[in-house]
Amino acid sequence: MLQKEEALQLNVMNVIKNNRKTTEPKQKKGIAETLFDLFISKRLSMLILALIAAGSILGTIIKQGANESEYLTVYSEATYRIINIFGLDDAYHSLWFKALIVLFAINLTLCTAQGLIRFIKEKRQTDIPEFDRLSKMELNLRVDNERKEKAIGVLKKFYRLIRDENRGLILEKGIPSRLGVFIIHGSIITVLVGSFIGLVFGFKGFLILRVGETKDHVTARGGHQDMITLGFALKCKDFKASYYPEGQPKDYVSTVEVIEGGTIVKEKDIRVNDPLYHKGIRFYQSSYGKKTSFLFHVADEAVALTEQEPFQKKGLALMVVRFAEEIHNLGPGVQIAYLEGDRPQSRWFLLNVEKMKSQVIGGVAVRFDEIREESYTGIEVARDPGVFVVWTGFALMLLGLYVNFFTYYRRVYVVSAADGIIVAGYALKNKEAFKKEFEKLKEDIYGSTP
Amino acid sequence: MAAHHKILGIVTLLYLLLFFMHTIYFAWRKEKVLSLMRGALYIAFGLHTVGIALRWIESYRLNIGHVPLSNFYESLIFYAWCIIGLLILLRKRLAHTNITFCASLIALLLMGFASISPSVQKNIEPLVPALQSNWLHIHVATCFIAYAALAISFIAGMFYLVGQKRIMPTKETLEEINYKSIIIGFPMLTSGILTGAVWANYAWGSYWSWDPKETWSLITWIIYALFLHARTTRGWKGKATAIISVVGFVSVMVTYFVVNFILSGLHSYAT
Ligand code: HEM
């Protein structure tokens, strides 16, 4: 028979480790059971982790999101086919990578749940060990009757009393240390849940605003370029880029107004590292530049067109497709494409030639007024309702790591003996530190003399 | 030449001196050399600290004041400082000449690379908008403390794998050093990754974007998680875990050097 002391230690240490049931005779297992055993196995979790790492490496070696011709200049036709089949040009969003993450989540959840259940069910050993076991413990100490009271006082100051009976006392410290592992694994699950919430209920988009322009929708990032309506409008009042004397960029600032139902509800300078937050949506300074816009009068209404941006009005659909600074020495001009019925047509407008400045397209008078250089600001837009869950996960992870690695469990017994008491104790991990702690206890009990 | 450049130059020479003192000690085994070495290490670390502090002060004199953790040069200097700092902090555990030899050699290489390589910009540069954040300090500091601890685990792992019996600390000691450094390195690496993610969310609107540096830090993190699991859940010991810690550090080096020079992304210091 195992000594109780050892049994306790083994018990405590094995609660989580022991995943294989040992003795039961081999029975045919059902499929469900076999699958369950597979998904909960620690060998599988190490394999999955290694595969996720390997897949991530592939994604950093192979250029992501390039187009076919770019790949074919680097890889052979056959290699490109493999890249294509396995989605290695967008590895982190490929089916197999997502499958690995899901598998990882299942495995981790099952392992953690199993460990937690065992931890809760585990019977706490609260018997006081036999006399000779105590004296065999790594750390033990005899205290005479004279100092008995003092010793117990010191111990009670350092440890929590969990049992007090005739034969002696049990004290302990650092129970939470055993929760560290659950906190760590729980935190990883929390982060995964948070990012999933973000994926499902959030969006990412971008917004280009010329100075003076107002928009209430943004272009969604990824796949199909849908428009997302914000529910309020954003107006760019000003954009400024400033530089250090040596020429390095110092600051990018977009001054914006949030407009709701015609009234300005907020004004803010958006900077890099200082986003605007409004109604769950964040706006980040991301890029800037200059854009040429072309001022037209379309049927007596002033409009600003930009290259490649379609314009629609009164059954007229047109778009600036080309801009030239100088056309046959006649000055600047733009080429306008439009639909006549269903047929695409195009026509040049020249700013300095009266006849080609005002023209009639599809029965509508169109006049080219001005070319204007305007700065614009590029703003990243994100809504992520899962981000606080992710932050919670992060905080838990750091807490769990601290608890797991820097706190530890130890137990101390106090048993009456013929001429005093025996104080004996052990630690589950970090025995060295416990030894030091025990030395210090000795000092406290006996004073500084050894 | 600015004072901090001079002082850091002297520090580099001191690490070189330390390298020679170790070789002399290995040849002679004189107790006296050992205490000289200890003295040289403290002086080098002290001057190293002064050099970094002067650089910090100098940046304020130039009106672009910021903690010297903002470009590749400054990170190399800080990394070497962290390694030697850890050596001094854990001097009781790490008091093995083989380990101090390798650690100061790594510090020498980092300092030498920082001062000699033409591709490393040595001047104090103003902070570009992306780096103007308090997250910069905590992110860079935690990452490099982690890298320093992991460098020590690498040294222990390497000695475990290639060491001969005679001059080594015992295999048990090496294993202990390896594990203990990962216990420091892993939570620090985790902190580095997490603070980086929080910062990225604040600056770019996304806490994770699979940028090469992020991805390699994740790979590194997974490797050390595998180390811990192999040890605790599967009872791996000795050679097997030593190999994982060596591989883990190779991954650290890829994250730090290779990604900077070959795979560009959001993290190239310049943008
Ligand atoms: C990236 C993901 C993971 C991280 C960062 C992680 C982290 C950790 C850490 C730090 C420890 C403590 C090790 C020690 O004290 O030396 C640990 C232990 C453990 N982990 Fe994980 N883990 C991860 C994934 C998993 C998965 C997927 C499983 C489930 C199959 C798992 C099961 C365990 C078990 C059973 C222990 C041992 C607990 C003990 O012996 O007290 N871990 N993990």
pLDDT, tens digit, 9 for 90 and up, residues A76-94: 888 888 888 888 888 888 8
A294 residue type, one letter: F
Domain of residue B87, residue span: 1-123
pLDDT, tens digit, 9 for 90 and up, residues B10-36: 999 999 999 999 999 988 888 888 899
Helical segments of A64-179, H only: 68-74, 77-85, 95-121, 131-136, 145-158
Determine, for residues A57 and B126 on separate chains, whether the beta-carbon distance falls below 8 Å. Answer: no
Q: Provide the shortest C-alpha distance from residue B66 to chain A (in Å).
A: 13
Beta bridge partners of A350: A333
Residue B189: closest C-alpha in chain A: A398
- Given a contact cutoff of 8 angstroms between Cβ atoms, the answer to whether B229 and A216 are in contact is no
Provide, as residue numbers in chain B, all residues whose Cβ is less than 8 Å from the Cβ of A282: 205
Q: Which of B57, B90, B123 is the last residue of a domain?
A: B123
- What is the complex's ipTM, to 2 decimals? 0.92
pLDDT, tens digit, 9 for 90 and up, residues A329-371: 888 999 999 888 788 888 999 988 888 888 888 788 889 988 8
Determine, for residues A405 and B216 on separate chains, whether the beta-carbon distance falls below 8 Å. Answer: no
Nearest to A387 among B125, B201, B232 (CB): B201
Q: Whose CA is nearest to atom 25 of ligand 1?
A: A108
Closest to A198 measured CA to CA, from B205, B214, B165, B143: B205
Q: Which of B123, B140, B163 is the last residue of a domain?
A: B123
DSSP letter assigned to residue A362: T
* Pair B147, B96 in one domain: no
Whether pLDDT at B165 is above 80: no
Nearest to B194 among A53, A64, A398 (CB): A398
Q: Does ligand 1 come within 6 angstroms of the Cβ of A397? A: no
* Pair B148, B216 in one domain: yes
- Given a contact cutoff of 8 angstroms between Cβ atoms, the answer to whether B93 and B37 are in contact is no
**Residue A33 alpha carbon to ligand 1 centre in Å:** 23
Closest to B67 measured CA to CA, from B56, B76, B58: B56
* CA B43 to the chain's CA centroid: 19
Q: What is the dihedral of CA A148, A153, A156, A158, to 10 degrees?
A: -110
* Pair B102, B173 in one domain: no
Domain residue ranges in chain A: 26-116, 128-174+408-450, 203-383
Q: Provide the shortest C-alpha distance from residue B254 to chain A (in Å).
A: 11
Q: What gap in Å lies between CA B180 and CA B245, rounded to an integer?
A: 12
Determine, for residues A390 and B234 on separate chains, whether the beta-carbon distance falls below 8 Å. Answer: no
Whether pLDDT at A228 is above 60: yes
Closest to B233 measured CA to CA, from A393, A24, A47: A47
Nearest to B222 among A53, A273, A394 (CB): A53
Provide, as residue numbers in chain A, all residues whose Cβ is less than 8 Å from the Cβ of B59: none
Q: Does ligand 1 come within 6 angstroms of the Cβ of A19? A: no
**Which whole number is the average pLDDT over A98-125?**
89
> Is some CB atom of chain A closer than 8 A to the CB atom of B234?
yes
* Pair B150, B236 in one domain: yes
Provide, as residue numbers in chain B, all residues whose Cβ is less than 8 Å from the Cβ of A430: none
Could you tell me the pLDDT band of residue B95, with boundaries at 50, 70 and 90?
confident
Residues 285-324 of A with CB under 8 A from B: 285-286
Split into its structural domains, chain B has a count of 2
pLDDT, tens digit, 9 for 90 and up, residues B205-231: 889 988 889 999 999 999 999 999 998
**Residue A13 alpha carbon to ligand 1 centre in Å:** 14
**A162 by DSSP, 3-state: which?**
strand
* Pair B141, B41 in one domain: no
Q: What gap in Å lies between CA A335 and CA A192, rounded to an integer?
A: 51
CATH topology assigned to domain A128-174+408-450: TATA-Binding Protein (3.30.310)
Provide, as residue numbers in chain A, all residues whose Cβ is less than 8 Å from the Cβ of B126: 244, 246, 248, 250
> Is some CB atom of chain B closer than 8 A to the CB atom of A190?
no
* Pair B142, B257 in one domain: yes
> Is some CB atom of chain A closer than 8 A to the CB atom of B226?
yes
**Range with the largest mean pLDDT of A222-226, B81-85, B122-126:** B81-85
Could you tell me the pLDDT band of residue A449, with boundaries at 50, 70 and 90?
low
Q: What gap in Å lies between CA A358 and CA B71, rounded to an integer?
A: 56
pLDDT above 70 coverage of chain A, percent: 92
Mean pLDDT taken over chain B: 88
Q: Does ligand 1 come within 6 angstroms of the Cβ of A177? A: no
Residue B204: closest C-alpha in chain A: A284
Beta bridge partners of A42: none
Q: Which of B123, B151, B167 is the last residue of a domain?
A: B123
pLDDT, tens digit, 9 for 90 and up, residues B97-123: 888 999 999 999 999 999 888 777 888
Determine, for residues A56 and B191 on separate chains, whether the beta-carbon distance falls below 8 Å. Answer: no
Q: How many CA atoms lie within 13 A of A119 on its CB side?
A: 17
pLDDT, tens digit, 9 for 90 and up, residues A256-295: 999 998 889 999 999 888 999 999 899 999 888 888 888 8
* Pair B115, B9 in one domain: yes
Whether pLDDT at A223 is above 70: no
Q: What gap in Å lies between CA B156 and CA A31, rounded to an integer?
A: 45
pLDDT for residue A389? 96
> Is some CB atom of chain A closer than 8 A to the CB atom of B208?
yes
pLDDT, tens digit, 9 for 90 and up, residues B39-56: 999 999 999 999 999 999
Could you tell me the pLDDT band of residue B270, with boundaries at 50, 70 and 90?
very low
* Pair B147, B105 in one domain: no
> Is some CB atom of chain A closer than 8 A to the CB atom of B183?
yes
**Which whole number is the average pLDDT over B236-254?**
92
Determine, for residues B226 and A45 on separate chains, whether the beta-carbon distance falls below 8 Å. Answer: no
* Pair B167, B263 in one domain: yes
Q: What gap in Å lies between CA A154 and CA A414, rounded to an integer?
A: 12
Question: What atom of ligand 1 comes closest to residue B222's alpha carbon?
Answer: 1
Q: Does ligand 1 come within 6 angstroms of the Cβ of B233? A: yes
Determine, for residues B226 and A49 on separate chains, whether the beta-carbon distance falls below 8 Å. Answer: yes
* Pair B34, B150 in one domain: no
Q: How many CB atoms lie within 10 A of CB A166?
A: 6
pLDDT above 90 coverage of chain A, percent: 24
Q: What gap in Å lies between CA A197 and CA A164, rounded to an integer?
A: 50
